[in-house]
Chains A and B, each alone.
Chain A
Amino acid sequence: MRVPISWLKEYVDIPLPVQEVAERLTFAGLEVADIQTIGLPGSALPWDPERIVVGEVLEVRPHPDADRLVLATVEYGGGQPKTVVTGAPNLRVGDTGHKVAFALEGARHWDGTSPTPVSSVLKGRKVRGIYSDAMILSEKELGLSDDHIGVLLLDAMAPVGMPLATYMGDVVLDLEITPNMARCLSVLGVAREVAALTGGRVRYPQTRMQAGGESIEGRVAIAIADPTLCARYAATLIADVTIGPSPEWMRRRLRLAGIRPINNVVDVTNYVMLEWGQPLHAFDYDVLVRRAKGVPQITVRPAKTGELLTTLDGVVRPLAPERLLITDAAGPIAIAGVMGGAETEVTDATRAVLLEAANFHFVSIRKTTQALKLPSEASARFGRGVPPSAAAPAALRATELMRELGGGRIARGVADCYPAPQVPSVVVLTTDEVRRILGMDLSRAEIERILTALEFRCEPQGETGLCVTAPDHRLDIGTGVTGAADLIEEVARIHGYDRIPVTEMADRLPPQRDIVPLNLEEQTRDLLAVAGLQEVITYRLTTPQREAQLTPGNDSPAERAYVRVANPISADRVVMRQCLLPGLLEVMAHNARLRDRLWFFEIGPIYLPSGATKLPAEPRRLAIGMAGRLASASWRDPDPSRTDFFDLKGVVEALLRGLHLGAARFEPTTHPTFAPGRTARLIVEEHEVGFLGEVHPQVRAAFDLPPGPVCLAELDLEELLARVPLTHRVAPVPRFPPALQDIALVVDDGVTAADLTAVIRSAGGPLLADARLFDVYRGQQLPSGKKSLAFSLVFQAADRTLTDAEVEAEKRRIVEATARRLGAEPRA
């Protein structure tokens, strides 16, 4: 909502600088998003009060040498009138008396012909042989609009010689209106706020019509089919009106408020809408009479199947049955509160106007506006709620303004169909309640003062209470506890939030509890970051196609059940993900061009529709993606090794260790995403918690990743963390030195490291503290089909230093056990 200060001042005194008023409004919840200054100091190009003044055109003569140019002699209140050359089409030979914006030599103004804003300084020069050192300015040259076709014509009462900045310089407040402040979609609404915040009073405009005509009774009939959709329909009638342009002051105000002037009748409907917040619509009464072949019978009703209306934008619109219409006996004449019909609109030929001031339910208007995609100033107001009480004063005000501007005779009375008059909200508010919510004491007198300033009616009730009646323009005040809260908000914001004291919470601290899964999830993040992985957060909206790329060869992915968005904003964000890996692969592909080392993880939910309830399950997952080099190349190591499966496994093992998860094992398996032979499933306490492996080359290619191993893991974080022990035992650090022994065992290729390690551990008994595999050898020194696995064994007793003989015996037992159970031989 754009509010010119000059207009606002008509209804309320502004005792403060504009900047300060804007600040007070903003602090009270009416946010001033922008302040635009026009012509005055502070604007982009202030009008020089000495050199840009109101002028009067005394005479317009033909230019002796140019058909398209004229010579205008202008009186400007200083010395001799000046003659200037102009090509403005709205100054014609013979014209006299026009008031104009007149610029003298040295005045700075906008360049009228430049497509971009460029200012220039007026200098005397010859135009087609005639010297001229002054100029009549267009709106564009003044910075008012882009109009440079003709010069700006001022109202006849503009005082000659007055600085233009004094006459029409202005400041426009651009207000952000929150839904509860819909009443401020009007200049009067804003004036009420200013009055309450500055201790002023609103001066309401005159709402009396000089009705010189016959009564409206019998000249229009009004019926409302459903009062819940249309609470009120009021109409006035003015005959013998002359359609023409509005006066310059009205056009200027409309323009400053952002509305294009059209003609006096339409402009008045818009002007009064901006003033009162009540949208109005003007019908050509004679057309209505012609259509009705008699007295127009206006009915407000929902559309019937198959009905059509050509709206005043020339579009033929089919009307769905839920559209609320204004109709007459011949059919629809307007879409209620949204747009009028073309046939009944006011034209230059209109002589009589039927003015509609109605009230439509906001839900109906919102649905229609959305369905037809026809937002308008009227629907913006109806859609946020307009009080039915505003219809009558707005109708009277507008009709009288039409008479003042367009002449004519107003029919006596208002045809007012108002089946369900507005009931004001009445709320009892006590000082105790104010203290309970605000935490501060406000006297009943202070509360009453604030509410009265906002035009609430207050009656004392009991010792500390007030019985408060909301004014008609307040549709946002409820009843009961809610109504009290509504009033407390009014009291608080006018009193000023900055004047509310500050306290520490004294209320009882709720029971404190530890949220174990959350803590463990954060610990998981830390462990992975310590392991050198970068955390990422990706979009949770994706496409089924992206996820299907993880299963190559599956040409027709079964139509999986997804949480699907009904109104996607783009084709690549249509369903909620069921896997974290595609997002991670995309991050890796994105960064592959930038960095050598691509080690990432993400923790977050996936979304699985569940048949039983409407809400999907949102289990949390952990995904790890690792590729590229182990480190970035440097002068110390120009060619670092590439990440492979065992780097990924090392990270997973570090995580398991960090979480103190004991019984975990990795089993070879197959999975369509991963390369055969390089895939494992992770089993923790006999529960499968996820997969890890090197990605299948087809998957790698599908995600546009460069050659080289790409390692991925996706783990069910909830399954994993559920098995983390609440606490774990810490073993004592041995007092006696360990005995270290290395052995290398040759086994068949088919024997796994896990098999051999298990046998060693079980054979080693309690003295074997650790058995760490440190070398794997295949090659010429061994027969084919054989490999050598070397272990570093640590023997340790808690109560003594082991003798060589004891260690030798242990080692022998291990070697014998591996020979017996796996056919292993010690490597020579």
Chain B
Amino acid sequence: MTDIPQALTVLQAEALTALEATADEAALEQVRVRYLGRKGSLAAILRGLADLPPAERPAVGKLANEVKERLEAALAARREALQAAARAAALAAERVDVTLPGRPVPMGRLHPSTQVLRRICQIWGDMGFQIYRSRDIETEEMNFELLNIPAHHPARDMWDTFYTMVDGILLRTHTSPGQIRAMREFCPQPIRVILPGMCYRYEQITARSEIQFHQVEGLAVGRHVSMTDLKGTLISFAHRMFGAVRRVRFRASHFPFTEPSAEMDVECMLCEGAGCVVCKQTGWLEILGCGMVHPEVLRNGGYDPAVYSGFAFGMGPERITMLKHRIEDIRYFWTNDLRFLEQF
């Protein structure tokens, strides 16, 4: 007669060793079948239980159950361990080189001039200045005469002009003729408009000068518009466009269509006013021209200059972009080299 308790002890030791030795779940299953299966070793031992005297059965039966439970627990633990190892191995096998470049996303972008024009128009829009689009090809009368720049007047020297083959028709040299068009359209209502658009100058194309460039003109007309308003409004604009802490100053200047005329300088954003190459060591950048609308121009727009007053200003988005980003060649804007455009 075999000694069942001893057989159980031997089986437990053997089975535990076999479990430890398994490398994968298939081997684990084999071990389970061999020891714990219906035809396995434990079952074989337990079949001998019936031959025992009834008094011994409960104690041996309890022992047998304990061995079974212990082995099942060990089996589950081993399965858990093997699965964890397998998962870890699988993840290790799937590891990627995270330093490889990402898949390129084909991006579209707006032209830098569009971007800055939008920014300018948005700021002015917030202050109630609405966009007024005017034409590129203008009459000499609109571009010059009605803006208080008569033919042969010395002020004409300020604009090098492309004329067309049609007498009296030219490519606008500034967005200012739109002032007259807007005034004639809205008179006698008050006006707050900005006029973005392309302008043209008869100039050699160089790093510093172009034959075409954008301008954004602004115009406010009303019964109570004064130079203090001009300063306040333009300072608000400068603070939003260039930063709230930036200092702003106004210098006397001359434009035939405004009087008094001024130029607005903004503290250089490249050197914070300390002086650098871009600001020619002055600490200031010239940003825009402005002034109170000249009485003649108001009159030409239909407004009585003794009752109405107004201010106007004009700035160059490309120039502003160049100053902000330290671009030294204006030709980049119309060459449309992606190496330039992709930087915006």
Given B158, B164, B189, which contacts A563 in the complex, CB threshold below 8 Å?
Answer: B164
CB distance from B209 to the nearest CB of A (A): 10
Chain B residues, Cβ within 8 Å of A539: 211-212, 334
The distance in angstroms between the C-alpha atoms of A434 and B253, with both chains bound, is 19
CB-nearest residue of chain A to B190: A510
Given contacts A505-B233, A595-B338, A632-B104, contact A569 B114 (CB under 8 A): no
Given contacts A27-B252, A594-B338, A634-B101, contact A540 B136 (CB under 8 A): yes
| Contact A503–B229 (Cβ < 8 Å) | yes
CB-nearest residue of chain B to A513: B130
Chain B residues, Cβ within 8 Å of A541: 162, 200, 211-212
| Contact A501–B225 (Cβ < 8 Å) | no
> A363-B152, A493-B252 given. 14 additional CB < 8 A pairs?
A29-B253, A181-B254, A362-B154, A437-B309, A438-B226, A439-B227, A485-B260, A489-B252, A489-B261, A502-B231, A507-B229, A532-B107, A618-B135, A630-B106
Kindly supply a per-residue 1/0 record for chain A positions 560-599, scoring 1 wherever the CB is within 8 Å of any chain B CB and 0 otherwise: 0001111111100100100000000001001100110101
Residues in chain B within 8 A of chain A (CB atoms): 100-101, 103-104, 106-111, 113-114, 118, 127-128, 130-131, 133, 135-139, 152-155, 157-158, 162-166, 168-169, 171, 186, 189-192, 198, 200, 202-205, 211-212, 220, 222-229, 231-233, 235-236, 249-254, 256, 259-262, 292, 294-296, 305-306, 309, 333-339, 341-342
Stretch from A289-297, A523-531, A663-671 forming part of the interface with B: A523-531
Given B133, B205, B225, B260, which contacts A492 in the complex, CB threshold below 8 Å?
Answer: B260
Chain A residues, Cβ within 8 Å of B294: 482, 485
| Contact B162–A587 (Cβ < 8 Å) | no
CB distance from A639 to the nearest CB of B (A): 14
The distance in angstroms between the C-alpha atoms of A501 and B189, with both chains bound, is 27
Chain B residues, Cβ within 8 Å of A26: 251
Given B205, B226, B236, B262, which contacts A436 in the complex, CB threshold below 8 Å?
Answer: B226
| Contact B337–A481 (Cβ < 8 Å) | no
Give the residue among B136, B171, B220, B222 with the most A Cβ atoms within 10 A. B136
CB-nearest residue of chain B to A383: B154
**Counting CB contacts under 8 A, is A537 at the interface?**
yes
| Contact A591–B223 (Cβ < 8 Å) | no
CB distance from B124 to the nearest CB of A (A): 12
Chain B residues, Cβ within 8 Å of A530: 108
CB distance from B231 to the nearest CB of A (A): 5
| Contact B335–A505 (Cβ < 8 Å) | no
| Contact B163–A502 (Cβ < 8 Å) | no
Given A363, A480, A590, A615, which contacts B169 in the complex, CB threshold below 8 Å?
Answer: A615
The distance in angstroms between the C-alpha atoms of A634 and B106, with both chains bound, is 12
Chain A residues, Cβ within 8 Å of B342: 534
Chain B residues, Cβ within 8 Å of A435: 226
Given contacts A500-B228, A500-B231, A515-B131, contact A489 B341 (CB under 8 A): no
The distance in angstroms between the C-alpha atoms of A480 and B298, with both chains bound, is 14
The distance in angstroms between the C-alpha atoms of A764 and B128, with both chains bound, is 52
The distance in angstroms between the C-alpha atoms of A385 and B150, with both chains bound, is 14
The distance in angstroms between the C-alpha atoms of A679 and B236, with both chains bound, is 52
Chain A residues, Cβ within 8 Å of B260: 437-438, 485, 488-489, 492-493, 497
| Contact B130–A512 (Cβ < 8 Å) | yes
Given B158, B200, B228, which contacts A438 in the complex, CB threshold below 8 Å?
Answer: B228
| Contact B228–A502 (Cβ < 8 Å) | yes
CB-nearest residue of chain A to B299: A481
- A selection of 30 A-B contacts at a CB cut-off of 8 Å is A26-B251, A27-B251, A178-B253, A179-B154, A180-B155, A182-B154, A362-B152, A436-B226, A437-B226, A480-B295, A492-B227, A500-B228, A504-B233, A505-B229, A510-B186, A510-B189, A535-B109, A535-B110, A536-B111, A537-B113, A564-B164, A565-B163, A566-B162, A567-B162, A569-B162, A590-B337, A615-B135, A616-B137, A630-B106, A632-B106
| Contact B252–A569 (Cβ < 8 Å) | no
| Contact B252–A497 (Cβ < 8 Å) | yes
CB distance from A122 to the nearest CB of B (A): 32
